[in-house]
Amino acid sequence: MTSAIGIDLGGTNIKGGLVDQHGTIRERHEIPTRAERGSNAVIDDLAALVNHLRRSGPVDGIGLATPGPLDLRNGRIIRAANLPGWIDVPIRDALAAKTGLPVTLENDANAAAFGEFTAGAGRGCQHMTLFTLGTGVGAGVIIDGRVLHGHFDNAGELGHMIVAVGGEPCPCGQRGCLERYSSADAVARRACIPSLERKRQGPPLSAEEVASRAQQGDPICAKVWNDACLYLAVACVNVQHAYNSQRIILGGGMSQAGDFLLSSVRHHLADQAWRLHNDLPEICLAELGADAGLVGAAALLHAHRNKTEKPACSK
């Protein structure tokens, strides 16, 4: 059975794995990124990680997931917020030159979506959308078994879908972006806004703690959590009209709330959806956790070598 090396390059850590064609991780390794050393030093570390993983047997190549925005045609990182100073980095060809292996480059959120499509909660459907609710809101869209890229390679930036016109300012320059309300960081931050919250003792709350207190009846936490789920449901309605996904999958830190997240989003989705046709998507939780990106990156390498983004694995 052939394998590929999947790598998920993050701002803090680099996760790598030897992944077979069914999306099973045969070997996994993780190292710190230390991005402040510059791109050349990190690419050297990526090559060393590849050489470590390939000792276990022959591989078809490398699937590399990185933050964006990316120039996929030329294999370059245009700029990445969590990789300071990385501007116009030709990472695909540099890693290929150092390892002698073909490299497929993909946006990290798209790779995570393809990982869930291949070996996680998206198995068995050809149309799905993934939201990762963490520091921000990442997303990836699969249509007809293929990652949606768009003309500028930046399709699926759904965390910057405007869900509240004139709402909270976002670092991207817009106002009212989804990630200002429905990310784990946003939930934690909004629970500590003085205008929303009575005086609290102790350190700021995490999103997990906000969810827990909301379940226990804390009125401020309940409002923040309800707002997050409402805006996420609005985004799901818009996604459904745009892409008609069979499944919308929720991952990232917020998904740790499990049924408490699902039930609220489903409730608001039913209230917001149109009445002309019953085409509501399934709303479910991601299955692969932090490994989705490396699994998806490896699966994309297999798919590209087979000249398709429809991997053999299905439920």
Closest CA to 95 of 45, 141, 157: 45
The pLDDT profile of the chain, 315 residues, written as one tens digit per residue, is 689 999 999 989 999 999 999 999 999 999 999 999 999 999 999 999 999 999 988 899 999 999 988 999 999 999 887 898 899 999 999 999 999 999 999 999 999 999 999 999 999 999 999 999 998 999 999 999 999 999 998 899 999 999 999 999 998 899 999 999 999 999 999 998 765 545 555 578 899 999 999 999 999 999 999 999 999 999 999 999 999 999 999 999 999 999 999 999 999 999 988 888 888 999 999 999 999 999 999 999 999 887 655 443 333
pLDDT value at position 311? Answer: 44
Cα-based angle 30, 36, 40 (whole degrees, multiple of 5): 75
- Give the CATH architecture of domain 3-113: 2-Layer Sandwich (3.30)
Query: pLDDT tens, 214-272?
Result: 999 999 999 999 999 999 999 999 999 999 999 999 999 999 999 999 999 999 999 98
- Sequence ranges of the domains in the chain: 3-113, 121-286
Query: Is it true that 3-113 and 121-286 share their CATH fold?
Result: yes
Q: What is the dihedral of CA 46, 51, 252, 303, to 10 degrees?
A: 100
- State the Cα–Cα distance between residues 211 and 187, nearest whole angstrom: 9
- What one-character DSSP code corresponds to residue 75? T
Superfamily of domain 121-286: ATPase, nucleotide binding domain (3.30.420.40)
Contact by Cβ (8 Å): 251, 112: yes
Q: Centre a 10 Å sphere on the Cβ of residue 82 and count the other Cβ atoms it contains.
A: 14
pLDDT value at position 279? Answer: 85
Q: Which residues contact 44 (CB under 8 A, 6 or more apart)?
A: 98
- CB burial of 203-238 (b: ≥16 within 10 Å; e: otherwise) equals eebebebbbbbbeeebebbbebbebbbbbbbbbbbb
* Cβ burial, residue 162 (10 Å; 0-12/13-18/19+): middle
3-state secondary structure 91-132: HHHHHHHHHCCCEEEEEHHHHHHHHHHHHCCCCCCCCEEEEE
* Cβ burial, residue 292 (10 Å; 0-12/13-18/19+): buried
